[in-house]
Amino acid sequence: MLCVTAPLVGHDCYLLPRNPSFHFCKRRNPNSFITRASSSVQEIEKSPRSSERDLGSELHSSIPFPPITAAKRVVLVRHGQSTWNEEGRIQGSSDFSFLTQKGESQAETSRQMLIDDTFDVCFTSPLIRSKRTAEIIWSTREDEMIPEFDLREIDLYLFQGLLKHEGKAKFGEAFRQWQMDPANFKIDGHYPVRELWARARNCWSKILTHEGGSVLVVAHNAVNQALVATAMGLGTEYFRILLQSNCGVSVLDFTPRAEGRSPYICLNRLNQTPNSPIAAGSSGGRKACKRVILVCHGSTQNNLEASFPYSGDRSMNMLGVIQSQKTAELLLDLRVSSIICSPQIASFETAMAISKVQEAADCLGADCVPRYVEVKQINDLEVEHILRLSKKAKDQKMPGWLNGLEDEIMTQLWVHSEKAWHSLLNELSDESEPQKNVVVVGHPAAHIALMGHCLNLTKEWMGSFHLDAGSISVIDFPDGSAGRGIVRCVNYTAHLGRWSIPVTKSAAEDEEF
Range of the domain at 169: 72-272
> Which residue in 11, 23, 45, 79 is the catalytic one?
79
Residue 480 three-state SS? coil
Is there a single domain that holds both residue 263 and residue 287? no
Please write the tens of the pLDDT for every residue from 446-476.
Answer: 999 999 999 999 999 999 999 999 999 999 9
State the average pLDDT over residues 190-210. 95
Was 112 annotated as part of a binding site?
no
Was 190 annotated as part of a binding site?
no
The pLDDT, as a whole number, for residue 279 is 80
Is there a single domain that holds both residue 251 and residue 381? no
pLDDT over threshold 50, residue 417: yes
Was 400 annotated as part of a binding site?
no
Was 184 annotated as part of a binding site?
no
The pLDDT, as a whole number, for residue 376 is 95
Percent of the chain at pLDDT exceeding 70? 81
Is there a single domain that holds both residue 318 and residue 198? no
pLDDT over threshold 70, residue 445: yes
Average pLDDT for the chain = 83
Per-residue confidence at 501, pLDDT binned at 50, 70, 90? Answer: low
Secondary structure letter of residue 66 according to DSSP: P
Is there a single domain that holds both residue 318 and residue 425? yes
pLDDT over threshold 90, residue 150: yes
- The C-alpha atoms of residue 453 and residue 462 are separated, in whole angstroms, by 10
Was 506 annotated as part of a binding site?
no
Say how far residue 350 (Cα) sits from the centre of its chain: 23
Is 52 a known active-site residue? Answer: no
Is there a single domain that holds both residue 349 and residue 392? yes
> Which residue in 153, 237, 349, 384 is the catalytic one?
153
Please write the tens of the pLDDT for every residue from 228-287.
Answer: 999 999 999 999 999 999 999 999 999 998 888 889 999 999 999 988 898 866 555 667
Is there a single domain that holds both residue 288 and residue 255? no
The pLDDT, as a whole number, for residue 12 is 33
State the average pLDDT over residues 132-146. 92
The pLDDT, as a whole number, for residue 431 is 77
Distances (CA, A) of 242 to 108, 141, 144: 24, 30, 29
CA angle 256, 258, 259 (to 5 degrees): 120
**62 found inside a domain:** no
**356 found inside a domain:** yes
Was 464 annotated as part of a binding site?
no
* Least reliable range by pLDDT among 95-104, 302-311, 437-446, 482-491: 302-311
Was 350 annotated as part of a binding site?
no
* Residue count of the chain: 513
Is there a single domain that holds both residue 251 and residue 384? no
Is there a single domain that holds both residue 234 and residue 268? yes
Is there a single domain that holds both residue 334 and residue 470? yes
Is 153 a known active-site residue? Answer: yes
pLDDT over threshold 50, residue 342: yes
**66 found inside a domain:** no
Output the domain CATH number for residue 184.
Answer: 3.40.50.1240
pLDDT over threshold 60, residue 51: no
**6 found inside a domain:** no
- The C-alpha atoms of residue 189 and residue 393 are separated, in whole angstroms, by 53
Was 140 annotated as part of a binding site?
no
Is there a single domain that holds both residue 96 and residue 151? yes
Is there a single domain that holds both residue 235 and residue 378? no
How would you classify residue 400: left for phi > 0, otherwise alpha for psi between -120 and 50, otherwise beta? left
pLDDT over threshold 80, residue 356: yes
